[in-house]
Amino acid sequence: MSETTGSRRTQVAIIGAGPAGLLLGQLLARGGVDALVLERQSAAYVLGRIRAGVLEQGSVEVLGEAGVGQRLLAEGLPHEGIELAFDGERHRIDLAALTGRRVTVYGQTEVTRDLMQARAAAGLRTVYEAADVSLHGFEGSSPVVRWREGERTHEVRCDYIAGCDGFHGVSRASVPAGALRTFERVYPFGWLGVLSDTPPVSDELIYANHPRGFALCSMRSRSRSRYYLQCALDERVENWSDERFFDELRSRLDEAAAARLVTGPSIEKSIAPLRSFVAEPMRFGRLFLAGDAAHIVPPTGAKGLNLAVADVRSLARALISRYRTGDETGLDAYSERCLRRVWKTVRFSWWMTTLMHRFPGTGDFDQRIQEAELGYLVGSKAASTALAENYVGLPFED
């Protein structure tokens, strides 16, 4: 029989210690707002996740404001362009020349590690392996969050709950079904990803459209590469030896890139599904959803982490303002403000996915249409600027 230990109190209970939850905790702490972070998994498990690491300039600035920009500045790789490969050739999109902004390649794992270390260094509490987290009373003014640690049940009373617990979390699931409207597009393919301690095939990312399917050449550092191949939804990792993976990757790249490919043993190999998902609204009384708890984008545009940062930046500013001055306009505007950016980013990620991938049931005509759109894009300053503006990140509203 579990027993409830003493009830704690905090101002904001944050569910989830991924990038969204940890960044929110960090920004709130710097704004003088007390928060408790509750995470279902262990810290090691959270750090074991391999996720995209392309940071918009705005995200880099927010991480700097959060006081975790040092290693990012020292080790992050500034990228002023990306390359599009199609019809046997590669074309560079000069992000910096077109927008005056750039992106930074820095693994999400490292962002999470920096945030974890900063939180621990500040003596701020994170409960890892918090089991059976449940949310109560967020429609009223005195929410309560309960969880289990071993046989002991705990609870915390709070003013607000931040649901930063990802797509499969408990927060969105705790909202009465009728209060939520969801929008979803599941893509008919997945991404087979490989991590290898080999030098990247190019200094910048290569997005390749090919009749055999999409491929992406990315990196974590100048000595660690990250590669992806579009694959069928029923593909299995065990069917892909390293040799088969790199042979298929070469076949989808232009000759020059294929010739530069340095192969090596995979240190991680996995298949991820692709979906677009948005839940509206992102606020229910005293519960606010942020990051993957509210939306999912296909990784094509590298927007998942950047959208989470934008949500959290807005929520932190609103909560700090509410505690400092009693002004609740930021909280009242949170959902609509975030959703304007979310839907523009979901559109961009959908557009880039649709342009770059080979959809089942399509044929040579569709391939030519994609190549024609890509040929127009790389030859048009207006079209290239439109891609670049979205890729480097749209400006924050406030």
Q: Of 54 and 164, which has the nearer Cβ to ligand PHB? A: 54
Q: Is 52 in the site for ligand PHB (CB under 6 A)?
A: yes
| Interaction residues for ligand APR, span 165-184 (CB under 6 A) | 165-166, 168-170
Omega before 281 cis (within 30°)? Answer: yes
Nearer to ligand APR, 165 or 254 (CB): 165
Handedness of CA 315, 317, 320, 324 (dihedral sign): negative
Which of ligand PHB, ligand APR, none is residue 218 near (CB under 5 to 8 Å by kind)? Answer: ligand PHB
The count of other CB atoms within 10 Å of the CB of residue 271 is 18
Closest contact distance (angstroms) between CB of 206 and ligand PHB is 10
HEC per residue, 66-122: CCCCHHHHHHCEEECEEEEEECCEEEEEEHHHHHCCCEEECCHHHHHHHHHHHHHHC
Q: Which of 44, 22, 40 is nearest to 148 (CA)?
A: 40
Q: Count the alpha carbons within 13 Å of 236 in the hemisphere toward its beta carbon.
A: 2
Q: Is 226 in the site for ligand PHB (CB under 6 A)?
A: yes
What strands, in cross-sheet order, belong to the sheet with 287-289?
Answer: 126-127, 35-38, 12-15, 160-163, 287-289, 283-284
169 binds ligand PHB (CB under 6 A): no
> Which of the residues are catalytic?
79, 207, 299, 303, 391
Interface region with ligand PHB, contact rule CB under 6 A, candidates 148-156, 178-186, 297-305, 312-320: 297-305
Instruction: Note whether 76 binds ligand PHB by CB under 6 A.
Output: no
Q: How far is the CB of 279 from ligand PHB (least distance, A)?
A: 23
For 164, the token pair is 């930063």
Q: Which is nearer to ligand PHB, 33 or 103 (CB)?
A: 103
Candidates 67-75, 158-166, 347-355, 386-394 — which segment interacts with ligand APR by CB under 6 A? 158-166
Question: Is residue 16 a contact residue for ligand APR (CB under 6 A)?
Answer: yes
Which tokens go with 390? 């979205």
List C-alpha distances in Å: 148 to 1, 3, 154.
Answer: 12, 10, 6
Which of 28/302 has CB closer to ligand PHB?
302
Q: Is 300 in the site for ligand PHB (CB under 6 A)?
A: yes
The answer to whether 292 contacts ligand APR (rule: CB under 6 A) is yes
Q: Among positive and negative, which fits the CA dihedral 196, 20, 165, 349?
A: negative
Q: Does 202 bind ligand PHB (CB under 6 A)?
A: no
Measured from the CB atom, the residue of 40 and 226 that comes closer to ligand APR is 40
Of 133, 219, 282, 315, the residue at the interface with ligand APR (CB under 6 A) is 133
Q: CA–CA separation, 184 vs 202, rounded Å?
A: 34
Query: Are the C-beta atoms of 194 and 336 separated by less than 8 Å?
Result: no
Q: Give min distance, CB of 107 to ligand APR, in A.
A: 11
d(CA 175, CA 138): 9
Cβ proximity to ligand PHB: between 98 and 302 the closer is 302
Residue 280 is a binding residue for ligand APR (CB under 6 A):
no
- Distance, in Å, from the CA atom of 203 to the CA atom of 148, rounded to the nearest integer, reads 47
- One residue of 53, 143, 166, 169 binding ligand PHB per CB under 6 A: 53
Smallest distance from ligand PHB to CB 172, Å: 24
Report the interface residues with ligand PHB, using CB under 6 A.
Answer: 52-54, 205, 216, 218, 226, 299-302
